[in-house]
Each structure stands twice: as structure tokens, then as C-alpha cells.
A and B are shown apart, each in its own frame.
Chain A
Amino acid sequence: MPATEERPVLVATEADDVTADMVITELNRRNVPVVRFNPADIGAGLAVSARFGTCPAAVAGRVRTPSRVADLAQVRAASRHPGDAQRALELVEPTQHRRRTP
């Protein structure tokens, strides 16, 4: 089993997504761990276990893809769609990536 990533960014998208590739390329350049998965792959290609209990029980769970494992309690950001690319980068480093003013 792969090692659990340290404070990863979750990227939920399909494999065929060149916009997400651009985001992940930038995250890789910054040495930010990325766990990419497609929710449609749940089963053999994606395993999820999670618990969202009330206090004092903390959030616990894992996302496991064929190549990566993420601890849900450690996730620093999640990008659900290529449309969220700018938002994902903001979440990673809020001071350096401003959304362009319309």
C-alpha cells in the first residue's frame, strides 16, 4: 500500500482533464502532495472510508487510489472541478493567488 501523503490536496476529477493537469503541475512544482481521484472510480479504483462524528469524536477517514492514500483529517484543500483551479490555488496559498477581478 502506498504511504499516506502529508497534508495533501485532493483533486476530484476525471483522468481526461487537462485543466486539472495544469493545476497539479503547479502543485507538483511547489512540492504540494496531490491525491487525484475520480469519484466515478469508486470500487476497485477508489476506496473511501470516513466518519463524521459529533464531538468529541474527530473526523477520521481515508481516501485510497491505486497510487495514493490520503488521511481525510490531514487534507489541506480539495479541488472538485477544473473550474475550481484558481480557488484551489487560493486555498493552498491564499496570499499569493488572488482571483482576478471581473
Chain B
Amino acid sequence: MHVFQVDNAELIESITQQAKEAGVTDGAIVSLIGAAGSFTVSTMPADDASADVVTDYGQPAEMLGTGEIVNGAVHIHATMAVAGDLGVSLEPTATYAAPKDSRQVPLTGKRTTRPATRPDDTKPLRGASVTATAAKLTAARPWGISRLAPYPTTVQLPHATVTVDPATQLGVFRDRAGQVVEMGKHGTSSGTETSTTTNSDSDSDSDSANDQDSNQD
């Protein structure tokens, strides 16, 4: 087992160099932990697994990741935690520098799209299904949250308790003050939908479908 420490350097470059010096050409990076002053990540467009979306983030982040070394090439997937307790999952490709004073930079990366340029010799181990796990989360509200709304038809029940009257065996509805409230009578509902009719005269074309309708009172 080797422990590589990266101080004030670009992450991939430094690990590649240290692995080479340690004689490691193939291996698993079982743990990657630390912080970066700025970082650049690579993800894929939603509709194209063969392209990379490269995004530069000019702000510091905590980093947790794992990866592999294949034929000396370092390949890392990591999750970056940035200000506001937000996480960015990604495949970092470059530019890990020492922390600097960039805390005011909002989480909006500069984004470019380029064709995939990964080394051919790593492709057998890095199929689309593997690299597809890299994704980016932004601070946007989940879409479903925007769909939330109070129930439009809530009603306040007029009674708080219901008891059975000993003399009549009827339900007695009382409000919170103990006053009997009148619950009214059950309404009746009647369907007023029209039925489907089919004209027996096959020459005419006057069939009509049914309309759904009902009355409730």
C-alpha cells in the first residue's frame, strides 16, 4: 500500500508522478481525501456519453473520492463538497491547487464541451457505464418541490367529538366548546350522464358517445 500526499499541486499530475516514482502502473485508489482551492470536473452531456462537459470551479471544496491507475494513467471519481453544504459529484480531471481566497465565487462553473479525449489504453476498463456514474449536482431546487401545494379542498370539520346519544342511539356531534353542532343531512347524488347511442340505420352516421356528468347536492 502506498500513501501519496499532494501539497500545493495539481492532483492528477501529482498522483501520476508519485505512482510512477513508486513503481505503480496498475492499482486501485481506495481512498482520496482532502481539499482543493479550485477544481475542474468532467461530466457528460445528458444525451451524449461520448462527449465531456468540462467545468471549472474557482472555489474551494472538500473532496472525497476513489479511483484507479491503469497503465500509469490516473482515473478518479470524486465528490466535492462546497459552501452551502452542497455536493458536486464528478470526475475531476485537472487543476487542484492550494486553497486560496476565493470564497466569494458563486457555484457557477465555466463550461466547455469537447469530444472525449481519454487515452485509448484505458478504454477497456473505462466503458461508458463506468464513466456514466459521474454526475453533477447543482444547488437548484428539485423540480418536484415546485409541484408541492396545499390541498385545495381541505375543509374544517365543524365538530370535534362524536358520541352516541344514550336515549336515541344517534350520533351527537359537538364542537370544541362542547356545543352540539348540526351536521345536516346527507345529500343525494344522481348521475346525469347521457348514454351511448348507436343508430340502427347503418347508412346514417349519427352515433353519439356518452358524456360523464353528475350532480351532488
Residues of A within 8 A of B (CB): 11, 14-22, 24-25, 28, 34-36, 65-68
Contact = CB atoms under 8 A, between A and B. Distances in A.
Interface centre among A14, A15, A17 (most CB of B within 10 A): A15
Main DSSP-derived SS at the A contact region? mixed
Interface residues of B, number: 14
Nearest 9 CB-CB pairs, A to B? A67-B166, A15-B162, A36-B169, A16-B162, A34-B169, A21-B170, A15-B171, A15-B164, A24-B169
Interface string B153-166: 00000000011101
B168 A15 contact: no
Interface string B181-203: 00111100000000000000000
Nearest to A17: B171
Contact of A18 (B163, B166, B167, B183): B183
Contacts of B163: 15
B170 A25 contact: yes
A36 B186 CA distance: 20
A11 B166 contact: no
Contacts of B166: 66-68
